[in-house]
Amino acid sequence: MIENSSTRLNKYISESGICSRREADKFIESKVVFINGKCARMGDQVNPGDVVRVNGIIIEPKPVEDAIYILFNKPPGITCTTDLSTKDNIITYISYGERIFPVGRLDKDSQGLIILTSNGDIVNKILRAGNEHEKEYLVTVDKPITEQFIKTMASGVPILGVNTKKCKVVAESKFVFRITLVQGLNRQIRRMCEYLGYDVLRLERVRIMHLSLKGIPVGEYREFKKHELAELNELLKNSKPEPVQKTQSNPTPAGKKVVSKKPNFRPGTKTGFGTKDTRSAGGKPKAAGKGRAGNSSKSTTKNTGGRAGRTRSSR
């Protein structure tokens, strides 16, 4: 939806549903974004009537009510990337049929809850560390858990050059503990355990903010329920998106080519996205009756915050 005022370019791109705002910045830096035929720069504004192209394809923001929000119970072995050339990538596994991308990451060896959406603007609000949105995990380790282990994990552990933030840690059994984080350092829980001499045997994310895995079998997904989406919008109302990082322009050394990373567009529509993909992950036609919703009711409930209420197995 184009408003009667200008919109920051990266926000405009993310609202089209092709990527997050951070990824939009990368496309701008790669010089594959044009406004009215002119190569765009970081910080540019899009005015009503402007034509924006990414990799030669015209894009337009989607209406808010058409945004997609999915809860997926990721099995181990699936990689949280939109790069379709990566083996066992999350997009091919789900084979949703419309352009979506994961909110953050979950290690390939880990399992559990991850959000996928077409709303690029909401991604940064959830991920930004300063907003401190909770993520809860159940972790199984290779040695008996001690009181000292719980106390040290909760108070903070030095990894990746910083001390982790204080967090809630509770022993569930001899080898299993529950941990709630408000930050997302790379392989944080595994690194924390390793620092204390423990190996993680199983790691499952069971909650993101108010959203849980309840009722979603491993390898399956469902769309948000209306009340979940309403609560998410309320929780994010005062959340700030990731700040735009200023980048220095580095001149290209003589004799070297600049290779731009192109967005992974799906052909078939004016925007290159939103094309219904009737193939399964293996490239074969999907069985009749397994559309995007995939249940017998085929509910198409909508509200002002986005589509909600449908459930489907990804396999």
Positions marked catalytic: 107
Beta strands in the chain (DSSP E): 7-8, 33-35, 38-39, 45-46, 52-54, 57-59, 69-74, 101-102, 111-117, 135-141, 158-159, 162-163, 168-171, 176-181, 200-208, 211-212, 220-223, 302-303, 306-307, 311-313
Give dist(CA 97, CA 276) in Å, integer.
Answer: 5
Smallest Cα–Cα separation from 49: which of 90, 96, 2, 100?
2
Give dist(CA 184, CA 204) in Å, integer.
Answer: 14
Give dist(CA 57, CA 34) in Å, integer.
Answer: 10
Smallest Cα–Cα separation from 44: which of 80, 278, 53?
53
Residue corresponding to tokens 């337009």: 60
Which of the 8 DSSP states describes residue 46?
E
Query: How deeply is 230 buried, as exposed, middle or buried, from its count of CB atoms within 10 A (0-12, 13-18, 19+)?
Result: middle
Task: Read off the amino acid at residue 127.
Answer: L
Q: Classify strands 57-59 and 52-54 as parallel, antiparallel or unpaired.
A: antiparallel
Give dist(CA 205, CA 113) in Å, integer.
Answer: 5
Smallest Cα–Cα separation from 262: which of 85, 49, 15?
85
End-to-end CA, the chain = 33
